[in-house]
Structure 1
């Protein structure tokens, strides 16, 4: 309508290679959720780390961090938070039940509660009887006072348990949300903004000699995210459990468990036992998930020749994602009869696949797929209209600053803006602009763009910044102020970790010291559909 792009050019942006990569990852996430594998992973992590409050934080955060590396952050949080709520509810109910049993036992054991008065003697004719009655009344009054004191003490203890479990549940919920956001930094498919950036990078720099493959991204993203999530864990257990570095010691302590920890362990084991042994469908999805990760990793690992060379470069990460997700529509949900030791005829009834199309229609995040396509089209439009070049030219005043200061300023601005808008939209708008800025400043584009994209995921304070925060605040025990209280520090921690990382091992890994020849932008660079799956 505006004449910047034709409808045909806009439509092409919705079907580029990176979009299919993300769609394939979302489809595998549907398979994991549909079989309940996510709950088994979360409970197993808790059993592995232990049952102290610090261990509960670690177990849930590790499960969230790991899952969000491979499926979207929002999907991870949506799958794990119900497990958190159910388990915390069981723990609180169990502790209160034990306390009430103790109350009953202690009340019964109090002296004087079993005394009674005989009504068959005439107290007027028996002075001993009068004295006995008087003593009995005093005893009953003293006993009543004791019982009241016991009830008050146990009421206070029950209220303390409720408040402690509410605070713990609040902290774990925030921890799971933050861990999912940080875990999304590890891989290209971890969050949409990463996928958008890779697609824009390939289109802006078609002659690049530095491919951002799945492995190349992980070599930088995983170390950054690991340091970040460990510091996040320490901050949260200090904030919610009031323990700092000793929280790490608790994870590896060999001392005996307290009664509360034994009770927690019993509840977790009970929940895990309800799952039973791993079902065929869970095992199938787990195998597909592991194979997908291995195929991504070894397609072009960098340190050895990858299997992708067998296809002359015609296979991309999106090819793997779509192929493996397609298998979930074929592989059976139940163990095939020819693998069972039965004497009857085989295949006497149809077998449902792991996921069918009605399930996919219901659970697949179509809005995310459309959001990605719209982001690519928007980036295309900003480049075609000349907006990116114009804004980049307006930033010439930064030319007199040291490059690391420019990167820090840009990262701070993006990390603030991401609290109020979607990280995908931020990456879409700013990547072309900052690509132009890198050319103006004669700085390696990755030196500016990678911190920009990572900072776009630093939405830790407001629900408007990311879907993970929005999902968490729908639970009544978590408020926006809880995210503000915990998130302001994480934003600062993230900026420090990111700045140090890109200026240390990031420089040597990406060879960021010089402005490469392939980084010169052409005037008509735009997103197209030439990338093959």
Structure 2
């Protein structure tokens, strides 16, 4: 265990007991217990004193033991006015099977199938051909393909796939600066591309799940209409920045990437099921089938048709699903126990105004996401953002949850910020300095654009 993890373990446990020892002004007993859980989660997620997934399931367990109906001791203290603060334990356990988890499960199934049958690499090979020749155009092609794949696959899997294709290309580039630019383009595009759809990255699912507890349903198509244009703008702007800093005019790259399609019956069935799922996701307003329900279609079909089996199910990214579940449960507890109102009233948010609150939360999200897991940052900030939107007049709940979730996906200035960055750094072609320069510039500019320009644009488009 690293020193920071040891310190985090001690601090987390100490923070947990503070609300039990110190009477918190204007906070009832259920809220004090939830504050204890909230503080523990903050410290453990920031320091990774225990694995992120372990903290997520610990949150659910502590909520059941301390603030749910049938807790170890009555969280209401016998006060009938607080009876609504104690939700059934099943409500917290239900976070593990929240419809958003099912949506993500379908996304993971398609992503793993794409890797199993080589669909990801073949799509890359086909789409790269028009961008051959100029190094700048090749980088644009790599970023667009990475962004598209990352919108439907895990950012980490997309980055690993792209580097498997690109490593031979990188070795042919003589200029180390240009080589670094090409290598940097992939994790940057993977992080930004994940913003575009609900299944692109866990913070998106955390926001959608938290909104669903408020009775606000965000469809696959609705999220995509809000986030995809922003992601495209940031991708293009990031490409221009990388070209300016790393890729000189006249630099060329030789591409020798060929598609090798798997044409077995199982592969063909997978292609058809994946296409059907994506089409149904994008046309939800037409057919009316929930995107969460659609997400379960590939799971059932691929298993029943024996295209994928139990071994494939084992390989799914279950820790991420549990991490998202912990965030949903945390938001449920914060709202039910009155901790959300206390957090809102304890800080002078009203003085900032609606725009100020959005900017501050987005910048905090960006800062957190540079030094901790994007999912953990979203787990902590999205429930708070939703609570603020309810308390502050004129603030749209859906809008603020979406912008905060997206902001946590923009933290990418260090190798530890996100797995795609770590993969790029491990190639030895990217320095921390270069990663930090690009990550800070893109992160700050994109976050300000997100906070200041996107909400009024969404309002004009009738999306919020």
| Bin for the TM-score computed over the shorter chain | 0.7 to 0.9
Taking the aligned partners of 1:423 and 1:380, their CA distance within structure 2 comes to 20
By how many angstroms is 1:213 displaced?
0.8
Q: Is the 8 A contact 2:385 2:401 kept in 1?
A: yes
Q: Which residue of 2 aligns with 1:463?
A: 415
Taking the aligned partners of 2:390 and 2:318, their CA distance within structure 1 comes to 36
Q: 2:103 aligns with which of 21, 24, 39?
A: 21
Q: 1:356 aligns with which of 309, 312, 316?
A: 309
Matched, 1:406 2:357: yes
Taking the aligned partners of 1:406 and 1:452, their CA distance within structure 2 comes to 11
Determine helix, strand or coil for the equivalent of 2:143: helix
Taking the aligned partners of 1:407 and 1:464, their CA distance within structure 2 comes to 26
Q: 1:321 aligns with which of 295, 302, 327?
A: 295
Q: Which residue of 1 aligns with 2:82?
A: none
Note the aligned Cα RMSD (angstroms): 2.4
Taking the aligned partners of 2:227 and 2:201, their CA distance within structure 1 comes to 12
Q: Which residue of 2 aligns with 1:3?
A: 66
Determine helix, strand or coil for the equivalent of 1:221: helix
Q: Which residue of 2 aligns with 1:272?
A: 258
Query: Per-residue displacement from partner, 1:480-517 (whole Å, max 9, x unpaired)?
Result: 333102111101221233134324321223465xxxxx
By how many angstroms is 1:404 displaced?
1.9
Q: Is the 8 A contact 2:222 2:463 kept in 1?
A: no
Taking the aligned partners of 1:47 and 1:218, their CA distance within structure 2 comes to 27
Q: Is the 8 A contact 1:68 1:180 kept in 2?
A: yes
Q: Which residue of 2 aligns with 1:202?
A: 212
Query: Per-residue displacement from partner, 1:187-225 (whole Å, max 9, x unpaired)?
Result: 111111111111110112x2x5xx411111111111111
User: CA 1:469–1:25 in 2, change beyond 3 Å: closer, same or farther?
Assistant: same
Q: 1:491 aligns with which of 414, 422, 443?
A: 443
- Structure 1, unmatched stretches of 5+, are 93-160, 244-249, 251-257, 301-305, 309-314, 332-352, 513-533
Taking the aligned partners of 1:325 and 1:168, their CA distance within structure 2 comes to 42
Taking the aligned partners of 1:23 and 1:479, their CA distance within structure 2 comes to 35
Determine helix, strand or coil for the equivalent of 1:222: helix
Query: Per-residue displacement from partner, 1:450-502 (whole Å, max 9, x unpaired)?
Result: 22111111111023332222232222223333310211110122123313432
Alignment of 1:317-466 (within 5 A): 317-331=291-305, 353-361=306-314, 363-395=315-347, 397-442=348-393, 443-466=395-418
Query: Per-residue displacement from partner, 1:369-428 (whole Å, max 9, x unpaired)?
Result: 221222222222333343322111123x23233422332222112111111122222222
Q: Which residue of 1 aligns with 2:83?
A: none
Taking the aligned partners of 2:436 and 2:338, their CA distance within structure 1 comes to 38
By how many angstroms is 1:279 displaced?
5.6
User: CA 1:426–1:277 in 2, change beyond 3 Å: closer, same or farther?
Assistant: closer
Q: 1:81 aligns with which of 163, 174, 179?
A: 163
By how many angstroms is 1:276 displaced?
6.2
Q: Which residue of 1 aligns with 2:232?
A: 226
Q: Is the 8 A contact 2:104 2:199 kept in 1?
A: yes
Determine helix, strand or coil for the equivalent of 1:329: helix
Taking the aligned partners of 2:267 and 2:180, their CA distance within structure 1 comes to 30
Count of aligned pairs = 381
Q: Which residue of 2 aligns with 1:288?
A: 273
Q: Which residue of 1 aligns with 2:181?
A: 171
- Structure 2, unmatched stretches of 5+, are 1-61, 72-88
Query: Per-residue displacement from partner, 1:83-108 (whole Å, max 9, x unpaired)?
Result: 1113333x35xxxxxxxxxxxxxxxx
Tell which has more relative contact order, 1 or 2 (C-alpha 8 A, sep 6+).
1
Q: Which residue of 1 aligns with 2:57?
A: none
Query: Per-residue displacement from partner, 1:257-297 (whole Å, max 9, x unpaired)?
Result: x9x55xx14xx1xx406x26866554443332221111112
Q: Which residue of 1 aligns with 2:287?
A: 307
Q: Is the 8 A contact 2:361 2:381 kept in 1?
A: no
Q: Which has the higher helix share?
A: 2
Taking the aligned partners of 1:477 and 1:435, their CA distance within structure 2 comes to 41
Alignment of 1:65-80 (within 5 A): 65-80=147-162
Determine helix, strand or coil for the equivalent of 2:152: coil
Taking the aligned partners of 2:231 and 2:110, their CA distance within structure 1 comes to 23
By how many angstroms is 1:52 displaced?
1.6
Q: Which residue of 1 aligns with 2:128?
A: 46
Taking the aligned partners of 2:234 and 2:339, their CA distance within structure 1 comes to 35
Query: Per-residue displacement from partner, 1:202-253 (whole Å, max 9, x unpaired)?
Result: 112x2x5xx411111111111111111100110011111145xxxxxx9xxx
Taking the aligned partners of 2:263 and 2:446, their CA distance within structure 1 comes to 38
By how many angstroms is 1:16 displaced?
0.8
Q: Is the 8 A contact 2:412 2:439 kept in 1?
A: yes
TM-score by length of 2: 0.76
Q: 2:429 aligns with which of 440, 458, 477?
A: 477
User: CA 1:297–1:446 in 2, change beyond 3 Å: closer, same or farther?
Assistant: same
Q: Which residue of 2 aligns with 1:337?
A: none
Q: Is the 8 A contact 1:167 1:240 kept in 2?
A: yes
Choose 1 or 2 for highest CA Rg.
Answer: 1
Taking the aligned partners of 1:280 and 1:423, their CA distance within structure 2 comes to 38
Query: Per-residue displacement from partner, 1:12-61 (whole Å, max 9, x unpaired)?
Result: 21011000110110011110001111111112222122222112211211
Q: Is the 8 A contact 1:21 1:318 kept in 2?
A: yes
